[in-house]
Amino acid sequence: MSDFSADRAANHENTKGLFLVGAYRAGRVLEAASARVSVLRLVAWPYSVWYRLCIVWLLGVDLPLAVEAGPGLVIYHGVGLVVHEACVLGAHVILRQGCTLGVGRSRGLELVPTVGNDVDLGAGCIVLGGIHLGDGCKIGAGSVVLDDVPAGALVAGNPARVIRLEDA
């Protein structure tokens, strides 16, 4: 199944999310194609400007085209969403409004989170630094995550702590 098909299936009743993820996927495809076929750069540049103006500035969703996201990406509401351009998102990740996946600094290095498959990020959560969110974990709304989260865990709080750990 293609990323577009998986995204459409995951966002089937979420029109705004489908628009956001569709615009993101189209931009990724266009940028990859323009790297191989130089004439497509004439289309890729205006699209990238439109994406920045419409998606980032007007809709308030900072999801750079450089982000690697697996199929089935879901964005609910989206306003205030910030994902660092070096983040890697697994398959079937759910992002809600106000989420921040950002950079943390350690010894002069900028480190960004890696998100596993089937991860659900609650509204307003903040995930900072070079940490890994394990497959199937859930991040509670308003949580501040600064350490790795094991697979299947439910974390909440500031700083986030494991509330429940599901058997793998």
Q: What is the tens place of the pLDDT at every residue in 38-91?
A: 888 888 899 999 999 999 999 999 999 999 999 999 999 989 999 999 999 999
- CATH T-level assignment (fold) for domain 3-165: UDP N-Acetylglucosamine Acyltransferase; domain 1 (2.160.10)
For helices 41-51 and 15-36, angle between their N-to-C axes, nearest 10 degrees = 150
Taking phi over 0 as left and psi of -120 to 50 as alpha, with beta for the rest, 88 belongs to beta
Helix (H, G, I), strand (E, B) or coil at 14: coil
Which residue from 90, 114, 92, 91 is spatially nearest to 102, judged by alpha carbons? 114
More confident site: 150 or 106: 150
**Look-up of token digits 């509204």:** 123
Chain centre distance of CA 154: 19
Q: What is the mean pLDDT of residues 119-125?
A: 97
Q: Does residue 1 surpass a pLDDT of 60?
A: no
Q: Which of 14-23, 103-112, 118-127 has the lowest mean pLDDT?
A: 103-112
Position 167 scores a pLDDT of 65
DSSP letter for each residue of 57-109: IIT-EE--TT-EE-SS-EESS-TTEEE-TT-EE-TT-EE-TT-EEE-EEETTE
Q: 2-24 pLDDT, tens per residue?
A: 888 999 999 988 999 999 999 99
**Look-up of token digits 């989420």:** 99
Q: What is the mean pLDDT of residues 90-113?
A: 89
Assessment of whether the complete model's pTM goes beyond 0.85: yes
Rg (CA), the chain: 16
Q: Where are the domains of the chain?
A: 3-165
